[in-house]
Structure 1
């Protein structure tokens, strides 16, 4: 059997204010083409199907089209909810969709209700869909500590017990696959894994800390506490979602990553999914598959004149760009000039070589030094806030404005 591991579609997400629905349609179509070309039997979507709990009508339509295309391509689909999804909304109609080959797992009680698929090469694959489990709620329901490790440990204990019971009915071999949406120990985050309570586009990929019930602190990425890999022992393959970079944490625990980049920190990622081959109740191979959709990402840094004239940067003229300029003094019209060459400029950063220019003294000291010289005070203010001294023309305009103000004041 061939299984395609994907996650973090984040349908409806924007990129620095730019909508991505067209790119998401394109990459999901490429996914369906992979299903057709490779003869994929099962497609797994390990959480964060949507970007928000209340997706737009257009986002819902994109998912509807994608699921229909995947089914038409010949694969059954298993979806679980992530921390960005509304479990209730994503799970609506799940019983009806199961009849058409789309299996949705959004409730804790469905953890021990695997999707069973006979392997053409012998054996059976049991896919256990573990939805995102909010620790405070689920910990209370299961009477375990209200943090991610304890809740996931309980979930996996239930999965292992169910799998062991089913194995007796499958003497030809039972391959146990688990889908989960979490931050696993050893995983590397990016700037695009954000807590659902965070502002859209705010960086949440860095590891932070959160208090645990025992008084310690567990690392977090995107609002999710770290879960140790030992929780997944005894599972043939664990298909994880939440981190947007494709990565191997162990031979049996992997992240597929998101199918599109959602922050400039992902500009060097290869985006796609993972193909898992099974036979006789075991995983026999794991293979990467790449997709490309939407614009490339360019992260450029340097002085403005170099960026504007470097011929090796021609490729970035068609990309979404983050540009950091390092000129010691901010050049005039820097953003506008760069935008003319790089129309996809979305993030403009000032980082002068050697650090920000320092102005002499505090405002109070400059006021005392400029006492009686209003023009010097005004030009000094321009220099301070803009990072570049006032030009002769700007100085003349300020002189005229001060003269007009004095005249009006004396009238």
Structure 2
């Protein structure tokens, strides 16, 4: 019996993980569930289905909503009075991290965004296996995460990194020539930068392959998601950034490849179904029988590959620059992007302004600073300067995250500005 704690249970990854765990109760027990609190009706159904001991809510105001939803769902199921046993409920900004630190065999972190870092570090500290779907916590935490993880403790859930982990079983680390990350190309494959200037959030949300949440879907359209995956692969597998290539594969059947020094390339192939990498992470290093349907080889099919258009989709080159700088630079990239995605979805900036904003904030962060004047450092200044890998700690990552959000907010709310190009001047928060 393996105890599982699931962070982000009401999201896409979380619901699919529970779909896999439901028929396998003899092997897995759901000890804890965590969610933001925006879908208490679904969370209530999950609690009744799996009877977790502890539930964590990021929003304290959602506790009463959850309790009411639980009673309503139990009544609808015809449960008798007193049959419903409420789990222990944790609430507040630190509740999910507290749940992750509670001790279990496996923690699946499916939270979206930088908010997952503290929970990632807390789970690793307990020595639990961490199935990581929250790529942002690895990207912004960098060596804080990799150094906290023991051998085989960190298992990727992203389909691309799961594919790489499987293909890497075919050879030793010294035999790897390069990693090849595949990308579907998103809804705007083949378009020029000029053609992307006027696209709408609705168009950006129309991903041709995957059904994902808003941030990840927009990131896929801008190729920011693939940029984050490049850095994630570098950190997970200790392969140089220069030896990680991105190719566009619209069919999304080949999920990634490893090229070895003898010229051999090993690819992991399967239909685009996240249940396969989720199931593999839950059962790693074994495979979970029946996690997803295999390829139907009786049907004719064509798979195509093409190079990434780096002139139109500049995020991958920008993340390479951040990865080379290390330290707090990736945290600034990620935070600025999260703000810019929100601004785009709210109509404040255009689609191409998303990565332009990120680039401007990164440039500000990497710009050499002169000596500071004596006296206290203002709140607006904290986090503005790059902190390198040797000095990196959680406080500096969080400070850089806060500064980048303030800076990106200033750039995306400039009065009278229709776009935020990398060369524009804006309000300086340093």
Q: What TM-score results when the alignment is normalised by the length of structure 2? A: 0.29
More helix by share: 2
More strand by share: 1
Larger radius of gyration: 1
Q: What TM-score results when the alignment is normalised by the length of structure 1? A: 0.30
